[in-house]
Amino acid sequence: MIMIVQLLVLILVTLSTILVIGIPVTLASPGQWEKSKNLVYTSISIWVGLIIITGIANTFIA
């Protein structure tokens, strides 16, 4: 179970890094927001889901 939580945290950190770099670049680029809006919202939804899943999985570790 510890390996699963560690993998979830690794995915969460990787996605967080991508979002920290990607969202400001998308917002700063002219015309990119309209093209990438759905991808940004989907990525944020996955990030929130990973936070919740990681928290739930962490409760099972003694």
Nearest to 55 by CA among 5, 1, 17, 3: 5
d(CA 44, CA 3): 24
Question: Which pLDDT score, from 0 to 100, does residue 32 have?
Answer: 87
20-34 pLDDT per residue, tens:
999 999 999 998 888
pTM of the model: 0.86
Q: Are 56 and 8 in contact (CB under 8 A)?
A: no
